Amino acid sequence: MRAVLWDLDGTLVDSAEYHWRAWAATMREAGVAVTRAQFLGSFGQRNDTILGEWLGPHVGSARRAQLGEAKEAAYRRLMREGGLAPLPGAAAWVQRLRRDGWRQAIASSAPRANVDAVLDTLGWHRCFDAVVSAEDVTAGKPDPQVFQAAAERLGVPPARCVVVEDAGPGIEAARRAGMVSIGVGPGASRATLAVASLADLPPDAFEALLDSPARPGGSG
């Protein structure tokens, strides 16, 4: 019993530019200026959290939901027009882990329509045994719900799950869920194992993490 729970954006694919362009256009049409620094600081969070910070408490939930839906529709359009490719090492690891009998799930803060659009573009639907997205949880990362739900759907206990993430909130969510983690890129340096790219992982990286005494919540 062992599983890998994958974040999507920034971990398996790099769609940040599409997200930025979609947010910038949507907020500009709403009369709100958003800087790239604000966008980068929000990456990996749920839309309701992002818009709550950008718009303030005076903007109601209905308006936030409307803007969020408009942004996601723009993102999917941009992605389909521009195409998408896996990040270095991503496709090889997904295929290898599946071949070696690991259970795999997508555990993303993105809406399900976005996740499906990415998997459709890459032809990856059959690679994953479960998908958990924004609609399946009530709180976003760093809350551990998304990883707990993914592990439950796979039927694998948290101690036998490896989370792969690119952002600090996701790494913290993995720790709270009692799972070891692989952090990809500079935003995930607090992971159990941090690397610049999935292509840099040693061949036994996932097995070694499950056998490691360095468990989440420890003093190390």
Provide, rounded to the nearest whole percent, the portion of the chain with pLDDT above 70: 96
- Per residue in 7-44, pLDDT (tens digit) is 999 999 998 899 999 999 999 999 999 999 999 888 76
Q: What is the pLDDT of residues 141-178, one digit of tens each?
A: 999 999 999 999 999 999 999 999 999 999 999 999 99
> What is residue 43's predicted lDDT score, i.e. its pLDDT?
72
| Residue 6 reports pLDDT greater than 70 | yes
- Among 7, 120, 136, 211, the one annotated catalytic: 7
In the chain, domain spans: 3-14+85-211, 16-82
> What amino acid occupies position 189?
S
Contact predicate 115/15, CB 8 Å: no
Task: Quickly name the fold that domain 16-82 has.
Answer: DNA polymerase; domain 1 (1.10.150)
What is d(CA 194, CA 37) in angstroms, rounded to the nearest whole number?
24
Handedness of CA 124, 117, 40, 4 (dihedral sign): negative
Q: What's the pLDDT score for residue 220? A: 35
In this prediction the pTM is 0.84
DSSP string for 75-141: HHHHHHHH---BPTTHHHHHHHHHHTT-EEEEE-SS-HHHHHHHHHHHT-GGG-SEEE-GGG-SS-T
The single-letter code of the amino acid at 122 is: L
Q: To which H or E segment does residue 195 belong? A: strand 193-195
166 carries an active-site annotation: no
The pLDDT of residue 214 is above 60: no
- Strand, helix or coil for residue 218: coil
- Among candidate residues 9, 48, 100, 120, the one labeled active-site is 9
The owner of tokens 């993490």 is 209
What CATH number matches the domain at 3-14+85-211, 3.40.50.1000, 2.40.33.20, 2.120.10.80, 3.30.420.40? 3.40.50.1000
Residue 59 has pLDDT above 80, yes or no: yes
HSE of 135 in the Cβ direction (CA atoms, 13 Å)?
A: 8
Confidence band (pLDDT; 50, 70, 90) for 49? confident
7 noted as active-site residue: yes
Provide the token pair at 40: 């980068």
β-bridge mates for residue 137, sequence order: none
List b or e across 88-127, with b for residues whose CB sees 16 or more CB atoms inside 10 angstroms: ebbbebbeebbeeebbbbbbbbbbebbbbbbbebbebeeb
Q: With cut-offs at 50, 70 and 90, classify the pLDDT of residue 219.
A: very low
Confidence of residue 218 (pLDDT cuts 50, 70, 90): very low
Helix (H, G, I), strand (E, B) or coil at 159: helix
User: In angstroms, rounded to a whole number, what is the distance separating the alpha carbons of residues 93 and 138?
Assistant: 30
Q: What is the pLDDT of residue 47?
A: 87
Are 25 and 67 in contact by the 8 Å Cβ rule? The answer is: no
| Per-residue pLDDT at 176 | 98
Are the C-beta atoms of residues 165 and 191 closer than 8 Å to each other?
A: yes
For 113-129, what is the mean pLDDT?
93
Q: How far apart are CA 58 and CA 32, in angstroms?
A: 14
